[in-house]
């Protein structure tokens, strides 16, 4: 069965950097686009980024462009999100989600349980 | 950026009633690139509808989606207690992709 397990979250000081990971299993990881979505405490969903199946194309939300970098290692079935210059606004649960196809333009059809990032001094 | 507006903010209905949730986009979105999600407290979101009207795998047929252009609707035909959740609309036709603010469905 499809499994997505996020890791790398924690309590991080403002201004520091962080790399989140999403380990995938149960499907052909290299054949699907992958998304990151975040949810601030008590708030709604905010789409963050999507990367194509081969990792050659990606889109970002305006709020994170320039500070967030999405990447993937298809040999390790793992998705990454590098975050620099953390601020309090980045405090959220970060979810990875499997795309419906190799194409960027598709919904996340299966989600992990998320990893919590708390930015605090 | 395509802004999605959902109404109502909260819907309180009894089991067996019909729920109608609306989502309006700030510009026309192809129905091919429109989805609905359900999120229960403490859980990850679950895809309900994609392509505006296609039920995702394992989704009961009491959930249906419709709409085109700027106006989309999620209908839950016969509410059950387990449908208590927040429902989000989502467009993935224009980057940046966006979500609506959500509609909370409460079961009386």
Per-residue pLDDT of chain B (108 residues), as tens digits, is: 999 999 999 999 999 999 999 999 999 999 999 999 999 999 999 999 999 999 999 999 999 999 999 999 999 999 999 999 999 999 999 999 999 999 999 999
Report the alpha-carbon distance of residue A68 to residue A15 in Å, rounded: 13
Of B47, B57, B102, the CB nearest to A108: B47
> Helix (H, G, I), strand (E, B), or coil: what is residue B32?
helix
Instruction: Return the structure tokens found at A48.
Output: 């963050």
**Residues paired with A10 in a beta bridge:** A117
φ and ψ at B63, to 5 degrees? -95, 130
Predicted pLDDT of residue B21: 98
CB contact under 8 A, B101 and A44: yes
Predicted pLDDT of residue A115: 98
Predicted pLDDT of residue B8: 96
- Those residues whose C-beta lies under 8 Å from the C-beta of residue B41, and which sit 6 or more positions away, are none
Average pLDDT value over all residues in chain A: 97
Predicted pLDDT of residue A102: 87
- Those residues whose C-beta lies under 8 Å from the C-beta of residue B58, and which sit 6 or more positions away, are none
Report the alpha-carbon distance of residue B91 to residue B10 in Å, rounded: 21
A32-52 per-position pLDDT tens digit:
999 999 999 999 999 999 999
Predicted pLDDT of residue A104: 87
Tell me the average confidence (pLDDT) per consecutive run of 10 residues in chain A, 121 residues long: 97 97 98 98 97 96 96 98 97 97 90 98 93
Strand boundaries in B9-93, DSSP class E? 10-13, 19-29, 34-39, 46-50, 54-55, 63-76, 85-91
Residue A14 Cα, gap to closest chain B Cα (Å) = 25
A19-37 per-position pLDDT tens digit:
999 999 999 999 999 999 9
Of B20, B39, B42, B50, residue with least CA distance to B87: B39
Q: Is B31 on the interface with A (CB under 8 A)?
A: no
Report the alpha-carbon distance of residue B91 to residue B68 in Å, rounded: 12
Residue of A nearest to B43 (CA): A113
Contact yes or no for A68/A7 (Cβ under 8 A):
no
Residue of A nearest to B42 (CA): A113
The Cβ of residue A41 has, within 10 Å, a number of other Cβ atoms equal to 9
Of A67, A12, A102, A97, residue with least CA distance to B46: A97
Contact yes or no for A33/A55 (Cβ under 8 A):
no
């Amino acid at each position: 069965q499809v499994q997505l397990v996020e890791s790398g979250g924690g309590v991080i000081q403002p201004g520091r950097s962080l790399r989140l990971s999403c380990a995938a299993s149960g499907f052909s990881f290299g054949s699907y686009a992958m998304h990151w979505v975040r949810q601030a405490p008590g708030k709604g969903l905010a789409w963050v980024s999507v990367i194509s199946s081969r990792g050659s194309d990606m889109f970002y939300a305006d709020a994170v462009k320039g500070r967030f970098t999405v990447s993937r290692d298809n040999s390790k079935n793992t998705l990454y999100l590098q975050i620099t210059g953390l601020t309090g606004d980045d405090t959220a649960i970060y979810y990875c989600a499997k795309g419906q196809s190799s194409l960027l333009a598709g919904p996340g059809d299966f989600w992990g349980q998320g990893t919590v990032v708390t930015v605090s001094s | 950026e395509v802004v999605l507006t959902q109404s109502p903010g909260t819907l309180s209905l009894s089991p067996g009633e019909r729920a109608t949730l609306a989502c309006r986009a700030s510009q026309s979105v192809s129905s091919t690139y429109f989805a609905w999600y359900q999120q229960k407290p403490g859980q990850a979101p679950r895809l309900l509808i994609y392509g505006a009207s296609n039920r995702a795998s394992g989704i009961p047929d009491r959930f249906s989606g419709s709409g085109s252009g700027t106006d989309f609707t999620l209908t839950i035909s016969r509410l059950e207690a387990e449908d208590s959740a927040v429902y989000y609309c989502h467009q993935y036709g224009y980057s940046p992709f966006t979500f609506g603010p959500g509609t909370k469905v409460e079961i009386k």
